[in-house]
C-alpha cells in the first residue's frame, strides 16, 4: 500500500508534497512524512503518526520546511507498527541516501544481516530502512553513482517497490526505481513530479510517463530520464491524462463515496458506449433496419474466433471485484453456456492449476495493481493461457501485462470502498457474456438486440434508485447501532448479498454476513436473535418463493425483516417489515440495480455512526502487498 510523492522544481516542495499526499491518502493513512532539501544542504525530515493533517499542522502546511526538492509518503503499515519512528522517509545514518518506498521487500531480514555484518545499524522495524541502506551500501562500495547503486539494489531485493530517493551528492535530483508497485512521473515547465497515482500530480500537469517494471528514473527540474537494469538510458512516451483534476475532487459531496455513488449512471453509460456500435442492416424480409446496435470487442482484440475457441473461463479477482466475478459467473454461464470458475487472486496463485490452453483467464481489478490479482495474471500467462483484464486505471500493471484489456470507464475512484468501480466491472462482464452468447450461438439475434437495449436503460434506472435515497437514510439511522446484519439470497441474489455485506462491514464496522439463503438452516440461523436485521435480496423470479420462505423462517425467530426486490413484487410487504424496490430489468442485470440500495445503506449506517466513510480503519484502496 502506501502512497509516495516527489517534487523538484522552482517552488517550495513541502506544500506540493503535502498536497500530493492528500490525494493519495486513500492508499494508507496511519502515518506520514517528508524529506526536503534546500540546495546542497542535508535533507530536513519531518514525520508524524496518524493522518496527514497532523504532518501538515506540524509543518504549518509545509511552510516551515524550506527547499525545492523532496519526497513524501503516506503509510499503511506492513512491517513495523504505525509510529513516527517507522514512518517514511528513511535515511542512511549520514543522510547520504534518503527515500520513500511503497511495496514489500520480502528478503529484508537476509539483507539486514548482510548490512549489519558491514557495520550498519537500524533504528526502525521497516523493510524500507533496509532498502535505503542497501542503496547506500552499493553507492559507497562501487562509487559509480545513483543509477548503478539502485540497479545493484534492485538485483538483490526480492519483492515489490516504488522507490524514490535523494542522494547527498546530487542536489536537485530525485532517483526512482520500480517493480510491481505503481508509480508515474509527471513533467511540466521546469518542474518534475513523481507519485503512486495520477490524482497527486493532476493539478500540476497532465503529461506523465509510466515507468515500467525494473526500470529507473532520474528527475531534475522539468526533465525525466529513464534507465533499464543495465544502466542504459531508455526512451519512454509522454502520455496525456485525459480526465481533469475535478474528477478527483469531492465536488460538493460530503464524501467521495457519495459522489462516486452518484457518478454511477454516467460511469455505466460510458462503459456500455465504449463497446456498443450501431449499423444499418437489411432484414430477412428486405426491410431496412437503421442503427442496429451490436457489441464490438475489436478494440480489445477479442475476436469471434477467439470466443469460439474458449472452453472455460476463469475469473480471478479480490474484494468487490471478486463479487463481480461471482455475479458474472451466473450471467455468463447462463447466457453463453461456457463453464465459469471464480477464484480469489490470493487462492488462485497458490493452487496447482488445471488450466487448458483453450481457457480464458479474466482478471478483474479496479486499480489494476492488486498484488494477488497481478500474480494470478502472471501465473496464467506463464501457463500459456490467454488473459483478459477488466481494469479501471489506465496504464496500471495488470492492464499493461494482460493480453487484452477492457477498460471500465469509471474515472478516478478515491473512496476506499468501491462503488462505481464495481458497477462498471459488472457491465463489462455483461457485455462479455452477451457477446460470448451470440458467438457461441446461444443468443438469437432478437434476444441479443433486447439485451443490448436493456443494457442502455440501466443508467436511467440507477438514477431513479438514487432519487429515493432518503428512505434508505431513514432506515439506516434506525439500525445504526445494530450488532449483526445478515444478507441472504440465492443464485445471483447471493452474489449481490456478498457485495452488500462487504459494503456494510468495511465502512460501518457492523458485523455482517452474506449467506446463501438455503444454507442458513445449516448453522447460521442459530445466530438470529430478537431484532437481528436480516435483509433478503429477491430479484430472481424462479428463486423468489424459496428465498422468501428462508427470510420468513428468520422472522419467526425474532429477526427484523427487510428486503430488496423489484417493483411489482408487492406481496413481500405482507411478510416483511421494510421493502426497497428497484426498477425491473432483465434478471441477468439485476445486480447493477439491487446493489445500489445496499451501497447507500452501508454509507448511511457509517455516517450515522460518525465514521470516516472514505478511509475506513485498517484498509487501503490499492492493496499492492500479498
Ligand atoms: C481493496 C479495496 C476493495 C477492492 C479490492 C480489490 O481491498 O478496498 O474495494 O475491491 O481491494 O481491488 P482492485 O483494485 O483489484 O479492484
pLDDT per residue over 116-147, tens digit each?
999 999 999 999 999 999 999 999 999 999 99
Residue where a domain stops, chosen among 407, 441, 465:
465
Give the tens place of pLDDT for each residue, 15-68: 999 999 998 887 778 899 999 999 999 999 999 999 899 999 999 999 999 999
Instruction: Indicate if 407 and 477 belong to the same structural domain.
Output: no
Q: Which atom of ligand 1 is nearest to the CA of 320?
A: 10
Q: Which of 320, 364, 498 to mutate to test the pocket of ligand 1 (most atoms within 8 A of CB)?
A: 320
Distance CA(451)–CA(575), nearest Å, equals: 33
Can you give the pLDDT at residue 507?
95
Task: Take atom 7 of ligand 1 and give the residue whose Cα is closest.
Answer: 319
Distance CA(516)–CA(494), nearest Å, equals: 6
Band (pLDDT 50/70/90 cuts) for residue 109 is: very high
Question: Is 618 within a domain?
Answer: no
Mean pLDDT of 259-263: 96
Can you give the pLDDT at residue 69?
98
Q: Other CB atoms closer than 10 Å to residue 440's CB: what's the count?
A: 16
Q: Which three cell numbers stand for residue 206?
A: 497532465
**pLDDT above 90: residue 621:** no
From ligand 1's centre to the CA of 132, what distance in Å? 29
Mean pLDDT of 303-319: 97
Q: Give residue 588's domain range.
A: 468-608
Instruction: Indicate if 206 and 319 belong to the same structural domain.
Output: no
Question: Is 396 within a domain?
Answer: yes
Q: Other CB atoms closer than 10 Å to residue 249's CB: what's the count?
A: 17
Question: Is 189 within a domain?
Answer: yes
Can you give the pLDDT at residue 117?
97
* Greatest extent of the chain over all pairs of C-alpha atoms, in Å: 87
Instruction: Indicate if 460 and 474 belong to the same structural domain.
Output: no
Alpha carbon distances (Å) from 95 to 89, 111, 162, 229, 563: 11, 20, 20, 25, 61
From ligand 1's centre to the CA of 191, what distance in Å? 33
From ligand 1's centre to the CA of 344, what distance in Å? 12
Distance CA(33)–CA(132), nearest Å, equals: 15
Q: Which atom of ligand 1 is nearest to the CA of 345?
A: 15
Q: Which atom of ligand 1 is nearest to the CA of 506?
A: 8
Question: Is 254 within a domain?
Answer: no
Instruction: Indicate if 444 and 320 belong to the same structural domain.
Output: yes
Can you give the pLDDT at residue 77?
78
Question: Is 521 within a domain?
Answer: yes
From ligand 1's centre to the CA of 602, what distance in Å? 16
Q: 236, 25 in Cβ contact below 8 A? A: no
Instruction: Indicate if 478 and 429 belong to the same structural domain.
Output: no
Instruction: Indicate if 174 and 204 belong to the same structural domain.
Output: yes
Task: Take atom 5 of ligand 1 and give the residue whose Cα is closest.
Answer: 319
Instruction: Indicate if 231 and 293 belong to the same structural domain.
Output: no
Give the tens place of pLDDT for each residue, 500-555: 999 999 999 999 999 999 888 888 888 888 999 999 999 999 999 999 999 999 99
From ligand 1's centre to the CA of 612, what distance in Å? 18
Give the tens place of pLDDT for each residue, 421-434: 999 999 999 999 99
**pLDDT above 80: residue 271:** yes
CB-defined site of ligand 1, < 6 Å: 318-321, 365-367, 370, 373, 416-418, 619, 621-623
Can you give the pLDDT at residue 245?
62
Distance CA(468)–CA(461), nearest Å, equals: 12
Q: Other CB atoms closer than 10 Å to residue 467's CB: what's the count?
A: 7
pTM value is 0.77
Q: Which atom of ligand 1 is nearest to the CA of 421?
A: 16
Q: Is the CA virtual torsion 280, 283, 289, 293 positive or negative?
A: negative
Is 621 among the catalytic positions? yes
Question: What does the buried/exposed string (b/e) look like for 497-527 if buried means 16 or more CB atoms within 10 Å of the residue's CB?
Answer: bbbbbbbbbbbbebebbbbbbbebeeeebeb
Mean pLDDT of 281-296: 82
From ligand 1's centre to the CA of 143, what distance in Å? 42
Band (pLDDT 50/70/90 cuts) for residue 182 is: confident
Can you give the pLDDT at residue 247?
67
Question: Is 120 within a domain?
Answer: yes
**pLDDT above 80: residue 622:** no
Provide the domain count of the chain: 3
Can you give the pLDDT at residue 28?
75
**pLDDT above 80: residue 607:** yes
Active-site hit among 23, 461, 503, 621: 621
Whichever domain contains 572, its CATH number is: 3.40.50.10490
Q: Which atom of ligand 1 is nearest to the CA of 418?
A: 9
Q: Which of 319, 410, 613, 620 to mutate to test the pocket of ligand 1 (most atoms within 8 A of CB)?
A: 319
In 3D space, the residue among 262, 267, 269, 248 whose CA is nearest the CA of residue 600 turns out to be 262
Instruction: Indicate if 224 and 285 belong to the same structural domain.
Output: no
Q: Is the CA virtual torsion 52, 56, 61, 67 positive or negative?
A: negative
From ligand 1's centre to the CA of 180, what distance in Å? 16
Can you give the pLDDT at residue 220?
97
Alpha carbon distances (Å) from 403 to 31, 59, 318, 372, 406: 38, 46, 20, 18, 10
Q: Which three cell numbers stand for residue 131?
A: 532498502
Question: Is 614 within a domain?
Answer: no
Active-site hit among 2, 69, 429, 607: 2
Band (pLDDT 50/70/90 cuts) for residue 395 is: confident
Q: Which of 321, 322, 408, 420 to mutate to test the pocket of ligand 1 (most atoms within 8 A of CB)?
A: 321
The single residue listed with the C-alpha cell 423468489 is 544
Can you give the pLDDT at residue 527?
87
Instruction: Indicate if 504 and 577 belong to the same structural domain.
Output: yes
* 3-state SS assignment for residue 390: strand
**Mean pLDDT for all residues in the chain:** 93
Can you give the pLDDT at residue 1?
65
Give the tens place of pLDDT for each residue, 327-356: 999 999 999 999 999 999 989 878 777 889
Instruction: Indicate if 63 and 117 belong to the same structural domain.
Output: yes
Can you give the pLDDT at residue 286?
79
Question: What does the buried/exposed string (b/e) look like for 56-79 if buried means 16 or more CB atoms within 10 Å of the residue's CB?
Answer: bebbeebeebebbbbbbbbbbbbb
Task: Take atom 2 of ligand 1 and give the residue whose Cα is closest.
Answer: 621
From ligand 1's centre to the CA of 428, what distance in Å? 17
In 3D space, the residue among 425, 578, 616 whose CA is nearest the CA of residue 502 turns out to be 616
**pLDDT above 70: residue 246:** no
Q: Which atom of ligand 1 is nearest to the CA of 319?
A: 10
Distance CA(241)–CA(199), nearest Å, equals: 10
DSSP 25: G
Residue where a domain stops, chosen among 193, 215, 248:
248
Residue where a domain stops, chosen among 221, 248, 275:
248
Distance CA(566)–CA(393), nearest Å, equals: 33
Flag the least confident range among 99-113, 136-150, 309-323. Answer: 99-113
Q: Which of 507, 623, 624, 626 to mutate to test the pocket of ligand 1 (most atoms within 8 A of CB)?
A: 623
Helix 264-273, helix 445-467: angle, nearest 10? 160
Mean pLDDT of 397-419: 93
Instruction: Indicate if 401 and 515 belong to the same structural domain.
Output: no
Question: Is 617 within a domain?
Answer: no
DSSP 300: G
Whichever domain contains 66, its CATH number is: 3.60.20.10
Instruction: Indicate if 67 and 122 belong to the same structural domain.
Output: yes
Amino acid at each position: 500500500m502506501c502512497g509516495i510523492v516527489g517534487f523538484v522544481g522552482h517552488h517550495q516542495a513541502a506544500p506540493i508534497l503535502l498536497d500530493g499526499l492528500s490525494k493519495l491518502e486513500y492508499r494508507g493513512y496511519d502515518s506520514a512524512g517528508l524529506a526536503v532539501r534546500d540546495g546542497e544542504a542535508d535533507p530536513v525530515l519531518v514525520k508524524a503518526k496518524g493522518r496527514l493533517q497532523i504532518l501538515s499542522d506540524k509543518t504549518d502546511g509545509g511552510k516551515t520546511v524550506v527547499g525545492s526538492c523532496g519526497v513524501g509518503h503516506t503509510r499503511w503499515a506492513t512491517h513495523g507498527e504505525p509510529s513516527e519512528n517507522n514512518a517514511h522517509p528513511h535515511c542512511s545514518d549520514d543522510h547520504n541516501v534518503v527515500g520513500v518506498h511503497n511495496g514489500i521487500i520480502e528478503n529484508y531480514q537476509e539483507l539486514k544481516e548482510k548490512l549489519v555484518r558491514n557495520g550498519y545499524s537500524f533504528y526502525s522495524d521497516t523493510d524500507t530502512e533496509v532498502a535505503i541502506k542497501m542503496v547506500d551500501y552499493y553507492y559507497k562500495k562501487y562509487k559509480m553513482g545513483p543509477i548503478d547503486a539502485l540497479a545493484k539494489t534492485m538485483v538483490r531485493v526480492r519483492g515489490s517497490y516504488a522507490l524514490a530517493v535523494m542522494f547527498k551528492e546530487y542536489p536537485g535530483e530525485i532517483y526512482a526505481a520500480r517493480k510491481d508497485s505503481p508509480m508515474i512521473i509527471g513533467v511540466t515547465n521546469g518542474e518534475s513530479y513523481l507519485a503512486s497515482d495520477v490524482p497527486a500530480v493532476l493539478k500540476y500537469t497532465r503529461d506523465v510517463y509510466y515507468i515500467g517494471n525494473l526500470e529507473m528514473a532520474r528527475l531534475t527540474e522539468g526533465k525525466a530520464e529513464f534507465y533499464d537494469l543495465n544502466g542504459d538510458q531508455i526512451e519512454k512516451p509522454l502520455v496525456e491524462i485525459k480526465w481533469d483534476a475535478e474528477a478527483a475532487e469531492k465536488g460538493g459531496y460530503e464524501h467521495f463515496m457519495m459522489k462516486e455513488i452518484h457518478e454511477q449512471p454516467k460511469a455505466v453509460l460510458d462503459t456500455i458506449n465504449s463497446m456498443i456500435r450501431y449499423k444499418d442492416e437489411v432484414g430477412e424480409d428486405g426491410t431496412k433496419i437503421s442503427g442496429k446496435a451490436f457489441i464490438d470487442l475489436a478494440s480489445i482484440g477479442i475476436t469471434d474466433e477467439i470466443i469460439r475457441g474458449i472452453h472455460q473461463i476463469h475469473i480471478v479477482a479480490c474484494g468487490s471485484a471478486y463479487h463481480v466475478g461471482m455475479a458474472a459467473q451466473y450471467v455468463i454461464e447462463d447466457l453463453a453456456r461456457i463453464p465459469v470458475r471464480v477464484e480469489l487472486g490470493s487462492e488462485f496463485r497458490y493452487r496447482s492449476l488445471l488450466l487448458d490452453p483453450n481457457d480464458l483467464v479474466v482478471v478483474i481489478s479496479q486499480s489494476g495493481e492488486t498484488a494477488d490479482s497481478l500474480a494470478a495474471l502472471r501465473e496464467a500467462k506463464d501457463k500459456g493461457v490467454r488473459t483478459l483484464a477488466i481494469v479501471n486505471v489506465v496504464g496500471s500493471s495488470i492492464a499493461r501485462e494482460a493480453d487484452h484489456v477492457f477498460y471500465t470507464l469509471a474515472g478516478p475512484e478515491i473512496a476506499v470502498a468501491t462503488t462505481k468501480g464495481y458497477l462498471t466491472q459488472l457491465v463489462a462482464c455483461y457485455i462479455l457474456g452477451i457477446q460470448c452468447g451470440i458467438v457461441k450461438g446461444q443468443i438469437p439475434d432478437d434476444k441479443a438486440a433486447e439485451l443490448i437495449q436493456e443494457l442502455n436503460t440501466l443508467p436511467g434506472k440507477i438514477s431513479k434508485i438514487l432519487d429515493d435515497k432518503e428512505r434508505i437514510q431513514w432506515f439506516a439511522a434506525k439500525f445504526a447501532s445494530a450488532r449483526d446484519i445478515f444478507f441472504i439470497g440465492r443464485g445471483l441474489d447471493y452474489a449481490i448479498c456478498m457485495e452488500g455485506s462487504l459494503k456494510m462491514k468495511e465502512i460501518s464496522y457492523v458485523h455482517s454476513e452474506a449467506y446463501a439463503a438455503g444454507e442458513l438452516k445449516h448453522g447460521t440461523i442459530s445466530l438470529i436473535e430478537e431484532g437481528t436485521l436480516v435483509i433478503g435480496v429477491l430479484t430472481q423470479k424462479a428463486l423468489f418463493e424459496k428465498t422468501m420462505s428462508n427470510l420468513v423462517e428468520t422472522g419467526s425467530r425474532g429477526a427484523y425483516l427487510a428486503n430488496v426486490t423489484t417493483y411489482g413484487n408487492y406481496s413481500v410487504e405482507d411478510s416483511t417489515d421494510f421493502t426497497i424496490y428497484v426498477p425491473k430489468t432483465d434478471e441477468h442485470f439485476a445486480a447493477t440495480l439491487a446493489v445500489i440500495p445496499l451501497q447507500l445503506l452501508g454509507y448511511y449506517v457509517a455516517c450515522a455512526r460518525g465514521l470516516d466513510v472514505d478511509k475506513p480503519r485498517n484498509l487501503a484502496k490499492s492493496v499492492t502487498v500479498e
